[in-house]
Structure formats: C-alpha cells, structure tokens
Amino acid sequence: MISGLKEIIKPYIQDEDAFANLNEETDFINDLKINSANLVDVVLDIEDKYDIIIDNDAMDSMLDVKSALAVIESKVAAK
C-alpha cells in the first residue's frame, strides 16, 4: 500500500531526496514540501485510487505517510 501511496504523491513532491527515502515517518509538508493546496489533491487522488470517501474528520490527520496509510486501511476495510 505504501507504494500505491508513493505513486499518488509523486507529482506533488518538492523534495526528491525525502521522496527517495520515503517511509512511514515521512511528513508530507515538512519532509516532502508538498504545498497545502496540493495536499487536498492528494486526498482526492487517494479517494479515486482506492474508491473510498475520506470525510473531513478522517482527512484531519493526513499530514504524514503513517496517518494516510491508517486512513486508507480503515476506509478500505469498511467497504
């Protein structure tokens, strides 16, 4: 699942090194330097790819890889 997420965020990252070293602890803003408007695009792309709906309460935490994966996993499991 982490590789699926990596593919989604690739167009938006502004730090190649952090992207190459991406892991669960990677922060979308502090490490990958994704701008915040694009972070909303990431959430929309995740919804499309996994065919899930991410409500605002779930989106609230999606600032790093670990939180994003947790949201995807729980939404996919609830389908």
Partner 1 sequence: MIGNDIVDIKKARSEGSWKQARFIKKIFAESERPQIISTGSPFLNIWRMWSMKESVYKVIVQSGEERFLNPQKLICTFEDEKNGFVTYNGKNYATQTLRTSNYIYSSHTKDAAQSEVINEILHVKDPNEQSKMTRLALFQRVANMLEYPLKKLSVQKNKQGVPKLYHSNEPLSLQFSLTHHGNYGAYSLLKELKSKLDD
Binding stretches for partner 1 (CB under 8 A): 14, 27, 29-30, 33, 35-41, 43-44, 47, 56-57, 59-63
Residue 76, both tokens = 């996919």
φ/ψ (deg, to 5) at 62: -80, 65
CA distance 75 to 12: 23
Min. distance of Cβ 71 from partner 1 in angstroms?
Answer: 11
Min. distance of Cβ 4 from partner 1 in angstroms?
Answer: 19
C-alpha Rg value of the chain to the nearest Å:
11
**Pick 21 or 61: Cβ nearer partner 1:** 61
